Each structure stands twice: as structure tokens, then as C-alpha cells.
Amino acid sequence: MNKQKALIKNTFILALGKVSTQLVSFLLLPLYTIFLSPSDYGTVDLIVTYVMLLVPIIMIRLETASFRFLVDARQNEREKRSIISNTLWVIIPIMLVCTLLYLALDTFIDIPYSGLILLNICITIFSSLFLQFARGLGDNKKFAMASMVTGLTTLMTTLALVVYANLGAQGVLLSFAIANALCCIYLFFSLKLYHYITLKARDVILRKKLIKYSLPLVSDGVSWWLIDVSDRTIISIFIGVASNGIYAVSSKYAAIAISIFAIFNMSWTESASMHIDGKDRDKFFSETINASIRFFGSLGLVLIALIPLIFSALIDVKYIEAYQYIPILITGAFFSAIANLHGVIYIAKKQTKQIAKTAVMSAILNITLTLLLINFIGIYAAAISTAIAYLAMAIYRYRDVKKYVTISYERNILLKIASLHIFAISLYYMNHIIFNLINLVVIIIIAVLLNKSMTNVIKDKILSLRRRKQKKLTLEQEAYEDSL
């Protein structure tokens, strides 16, 4: 199997799980907007955001390090056992110390839902770690299944706790904890992680290597958080928590594009790490990045054209203002995808300091712009500053990675996508049913044409599967007739 086909296969496997999780999150959005007030939803959004900040800091991004090191150790059981065990024996003591500090802090500061916050942090640490173990061990099918378990559990527990038990924000946080706990249990036993965990595998040198790789990623993770979420904190302080609830709803639509890219990026990170020193490396990276820019640019366009037709059916009227900020955030999501496509090259080359450097610069730019503009244009300040910060990161990384990999870019594609964004966004803000339908039809046709090579690959794959199925049925029929 060539590199491109392997990349597509892994992406589809990972997508089976991650899409289910993201689809559940999207389907639950109408429930959240009905059963939670903007203030309550804004509070939940902030809590989840801070949990997502604290988890990678507490883990010092060792989950990413363990994945990268496991990729190189897939044929060596002893090394796999050593990597998994030493990762755990670093993270667990840090987590225990942080738990004690949190409990001490909670005695002095009244933290809303403090118990549920701590529960979510601890469980999310293990679910994140076990998911990366699955990827590092090359078992993407179990990774996908674990994500499905998480998504289905979130759906069922949210219906039970938020809709029927009417627990509000408390029910949402509890449903997240239960879903991640079941994910941990499934992976622990399906991967047989108990075979890989032993005190005898203690290796100080390996721990230093893991930490050296992971530490720069902490500042990278914090910077990404600052870009994504400092906006929400600033909005809550300057405008109010209810406004953050509006912004959170807007962000959910951009999160669709980000989540789809994240699925691909997991597979892309694995492929890039495996082939970074290959003979045809430059060709492989060039083809993949160009195809990805076409696809994710088209995805953003389709979302912008589709949302006017479905927005009012999905969102309660009290969140109607969120409509205004969605195209800007989706455009920012596209810039984020470009930045991450190139950021994977740093991971493959184990140059994690460069990832941190570029992310920190973008975070500073984002916060500065938001603070300067928030009093003049309100929520627009957060959306615009996010898009600009991602664009700046994409441009810097595009230029910087040339010293590692020679990438041949299709230079006219970005101009085409930019022109199409102007067209799609203009019709989006007109918000007339006729213009919205024209927008969607035109964008879908152009998106298919832009991604013709990718659609041909998918078409060939489907036809190949059909031929295999038909051949199998024919052989079974012949065997049956011979038995008669």
C-alpha cells in the first residue's frame, strides 16, 4: 500500500470514531441552547475550556511524546512496555500533586462546580493518554471505537441528566466525566494495557528523552488555548458571560471544520513521522499538503454556504446573534488547518521548540488585538483577532518549514479559495433564501471540481470494494453449486 492510500485508509478509520463524537456534540447543541440559558452555557463553555487547558499542562504533553516514541517502537515489545510505563510513572505523581493543590485552592476560593471540574480533569488525563497509546501502538481501530463509545455515552447521559433530570450545567459536566471514564475502561482492557504497565521498566534516560520532547509542546498547547479561548475570557470580563455564550455557539460551527481537520491531522502526523526521511519525502509532503489545502478550503466554503439554510432550525432564538460571527471563525479555522499542516513537519523532525515559538507569537498577537478592539466592535474583535492570529502562524510556518522539507505549492489555489470566500461570505450576510440556495449550489459544484483527484480516489476505492464483494459472492455461489 503506497503512502497516500495508507494515509487515506488511516484517516477513514480515525474518522469513524471522531466523527461520531463531533456529530454528537453538534446534535446536542440544540438541546444545550434550549435547556441552558446563555449565561449557563457560557459558564459550561468556560469550564470545559479551562479543563482543556489544564489537562495538557498537568500531563506536560507526554501523551504526544508517548505517541511519537511508540511509532518508532512498534516492533519491539520491550520498548513499548518501557515507553508506556515510564509515561505513566511521570504523569501520575504530577497529577496527584496538582490535585492536592487544587483542593487547597478550593478551600480559599469558591469555584463553581469544583468537584466536577476536578473529576473531569483527572478522567480526561487518562482518556487522552490511553487514546494516544492506541495510536502509538498502531491500533487506530480501537482508537475509533473508543471515540464512538465516548460519543454514544455523552448522548445518552446528556439526555438522561440534562433533558429528563433537568440538572442543567451540572448534568452536562457529569455526562462528560462518565463518557471519558467509559472510554478509559474500554481502552485499558481492549489494548491490554495492564501487560505494558510495570515498575520494573523504570528508565531515567528514557524519561528525560520523553520530557525533553514534550516540554516545548506545553507552551504550544497553552498558546493554542490562548488563541482559542483567551477571546472567551476577555468577552466574559468586558461584555459578560451571556455574550460568551453567544460566541461559544458561533464557535461550534467553526469547530466542525477544526474537528474534521483534527481527524486527518492525527493520520497525517503518523504518516509524516514514518516517512520524514524517505527518498520521495518532498513529493509525498507536497502532494499531501496541496490536496489538504484544496479540501479544507472547500470544506469551509461549503459550511459557510450551508449554515444560512439550517441555522434557525438548530439554534434557539435567544442565540440568534451568533449568526454574525460564524464566517469569520470558519475562515480562521481554515488558516488554523494550514498552520497545522506545516506544524506536523516540526513534530516529525522532533523540532518541538519551533512549534512552541510560532504558537506563542500568534497567541500574543491574538490577545493584543482582542484587547485593542473589544471596546469598539464587541464580539467581532474576538473572531477577527483569532482569524488574524491563525493566518500569521500559517504564513510563518509556511516559510520556516522550507529548511526541513522542500514543498512545491500550487500557488494559484489559495487565490481561488480566497476569491470564493469573498463570494460565499457576501451572499451569507445578504441572508436571502434565493441567494443562499444559489450560494450552496455554486460552492458545492466548485468544491467537487477543486477536489477532483481526491473524489476519483474515493470513487475508485468504492468501486474496488464493490468488485471484491461481487467476487466473494460469486465464489460463494460457485462453492454452493459445487456442493450440490
Provide the pLDDT for residue 370. Answer: 92
Asked if residue 475 has pLDDT above 60, the reply is yes
Provide the pLDDT for residue 308. Answer: 93
Q: What is the pLDDT of residues 381-400, one digit of tens each?
A: 999 999 999 999 999 998 88
Domain chopping of the chain, boundaries: 1-202, 231-450, 455-484
How far apart are alpha carbons 105 and 54 in whole angstroms?
A: 15
Provide the pLDDT for residue 307. Answer: 93
Provide the pLDDT for residue 23. Answer: 67
Cβ density class 252-261: b for 16+ within 10 Å, e for less? bbbbbbbbbb
Task: Name the 3-class secondary structure at 167.
Answer: coil
How far apart are alpha carbons 267 and 260 in whole angstroms?
A: 12
Locate 49 and state its grid cell. 475550556
Q: What is the pLDDT of residues 2-28, one digit of tens each?
A: 555 666 666 666 666 666 666 677 677
Predicted TM-score (pTM) of this structure: 0.69
49, 91, 226, 308 from 318: Cα distances, Å: 22, 43, 27, 17
Mean residue pLDDT of the chain comes to 83
Locate 336 and state its grid cell. 488554523
User: What percent of the chain clears pLDDT 90, i.e. is strictly above it?
Assistant: 27
Q: Show Cβ contacts of residue 462 under 8 Å, excluding neighbours closer than 6 positions.
A: none
Q: What is the pLDDT of residues 435-447, one digit of tens each?
A: 999 999 999 999 9
Q: What is the pLDDT of residues 310-358, one digit of tens each?
A: 888 777 788 889 899 999 999 999 998 999 888 888 877 777 777 778 8
How far apart are alpha carbons 168 and 163 in whole angstroms?
A: 8
430, 439 contact by CB (below 8 A): no
Provide the pLDDT for residue 10. Answer: 65
How far apart are alpha carbons 286 and 99 in whole angstroms?
A: 45
